[in-house]
């Protein structure tokens, strides 16, 4: 299932523009399959999109958990 935030997620335009192969792998895993495992989606759905750090990678689950636990 495609992530509902995919079209407006600025992560891939800003942070991954120079790494298309890595971006493709991450998009496939986190944006097109199971967005519940995406650290960015976890923070956005819990705290709001404005609380998602620009430098948070989709696979940084520990960092997302810390943000949620400290801001929730």
Cα(4)–Cα(7) distance, integer angstroms: 7
Residues near 23 by Cβ (< 8 Å), separated by ≥ 6? 12, 16, 17
pLDDT per residue of the chain (72 residues) written in tens, 0 to 9: 788 888 888 776 666 667 778 878 888 899 888 889 999 999 999 999 999 998 899 999 999 999 999 985
What pTM, to 2 d.p., does this model score? 0.84
């Amino acid at each position: 299932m495609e992530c509902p935030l995919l079209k407006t997620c600025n992560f891939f335009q800003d942070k991954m523009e120079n790494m298309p192969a890595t971006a493709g792998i991450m998009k496939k895993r986190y944006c097109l399959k199971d967005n519940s495992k995406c650290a960015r989606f976890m923070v956005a759905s819990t705290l709001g999109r404005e609380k998602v750090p620009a430098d948070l990678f989709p696979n940084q689950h520990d960092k997302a958990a810390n943000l949620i636990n400290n801001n929730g």
